[in-house]
Amino acid sequence: MAEITYADAGVDIEEGAAAVDAIKDAVHSTYRPEVVGDIGGFGGLFSAAAFKGMEEPLMVSGTDGVGTKLKVAQLIGKHDTVGIDLVAMCVNDILACGAEPLFFLDYIAIGKLKKEHVAKVVGGIAEGCRQAGCALIGGEMAEHPGVMDPDDYDLSGFTVGVVDRPKMIGPDGVVEGDVLVGLRSSGFHSNGYSLVRKVLVEGKTAEELAAPVAELNGETLGDALIAPTRIYVKPVLNCLRNLPGDVHALAHITGGGITENLNRALPETMDALVNKGAWEVPPIIKMGIEAAGLTEEQALKTFNMGIGMVLIVDAARVDAVMDELAKSGEEPVVIGKIVEGTGVVRYAE
């Protein structure tokens, strides 16, 4: 009987080892002082020294993926930014209770493992971790021959953070009269791409996606669609630390749009009254709305509309919060206020 090796079955162990070597520098660039050991072990080690000085440290975890935005990346052949999306979707979520992300792990499922390809993807994950200030301490690269096409891949990620319980923020701290401060998005971020691909990508070639578009101020459609999700960790944490008590709650605007995410930061007796004219919707999102024929109500339940994070702020401290965010390079905008209600998002012109 002829010998059949693992490589004959489609899994190249040597290429996998080469891929690990190719990503080591990127991984090391994310390390914090609390990281113990190195990649390659059976588990990632992280010291609890980060909890020192906290009255009641709570560990906060989050997991997510990039979704079908990966199909756009594969079509245009750009794989060095989707890793940022992966980190962003996880760390922005745990940030919503005031948590600092400490470490991150990734899972890459791929049809045919190529070290150069994986290095680009992991390079993006490392960049996202650097932006968030968390360490990439482990992960998995799984080759799936016969299950996935050779050039196909999927990403998922997992993060753990910490928050001191007395400093947690959330719906319990929100009061009538609080002000809504929005932080701008870079576009669709990583949500709504099943619809976006259907109306903006299907039937187009890579060359068409690489052509400048007048409605996008000369940017290509491909670049606009692949723009990575913004990571809000550092500016928001700076604000929470330097202005304790000024921010009462946060909402990460993801799938479901403003309508179905901002309400998650509200108590049952309060509504968020959002002024729709307070900010400019990005051109790429306008293009998606028009191509899909969405009503304004539908769009507000589907896309972030140009606002990726909302801070619910003490009305007397809005200027201080806006100034602090601006120091971190943000361009915050007041988009509404908290009013008496039943825990829903309402809109005003």
Give the pair of three-digit tokens for residue 325.
């965010």
Q: Which domains does the chain have, with CATH numbers?
A: 6-167 (3.30.1330.10), 171-347 (3.90.650.10)
Terminal alpha carbon distance of the chain:
76
Q: Find, among 261, 87, 104, 282, the residue nearest to 187 by Cα.
A: 282
CB 248 within 8 A of CB 178: yes
What residue type is assigned to position 57 of the chain? P
- pTM here? 0.94
User: Is-contact 217 283, C-beta < 8 A?
Assistant: yes
Residue 267: phi and psi, rounded to 5, are -75, 165
Alpha helices, DSSP H only, in 46-190? 69-76, 82-95, 115-132
Residue type at position 110: I
- Strand 100-110 relative to strand 153-164, pairing: antiparallel
Handedness of CA 141, 144, 145, 148 (dihedral sign): negative
> Nearest 5 degrees, angle CA 304-CA 176-CA 273?
30
Q: Other CB atoms closer than 10 Å to residue 66's CB: what's the count?
A: 25
User: Which pLDDT value is given to residue 115?
Assistant: 84
What parts of the chain have a pLDDT lower than 70? 1-2, 4-13, 16
121: number of Cβ within 10 Å: 25
Residue 183, SS3? strand
User: Which is it for the CA torsion 174, 179, 180, 184, positive or negative?
Assistant: negative
> How many angstroms separate the CA atoms of 332 and 126, rounded?
27
> In this predicted structure, what is the pLDDT of residue 9?
63
Q: Are 62 and 91 in contact (CB under 8 A)?
A: yes
d(Cα 127, Cα 208) in Å, to the nearest integer? 28
Answer whether 268's CB lies under 8 Å from 190's CB. no
In this predicted structure, what is the pLDDT of residue 39? 84
Bridge partner residues of 101 (DSSP): 161
- Eight-state DSSP code of residue 170: S
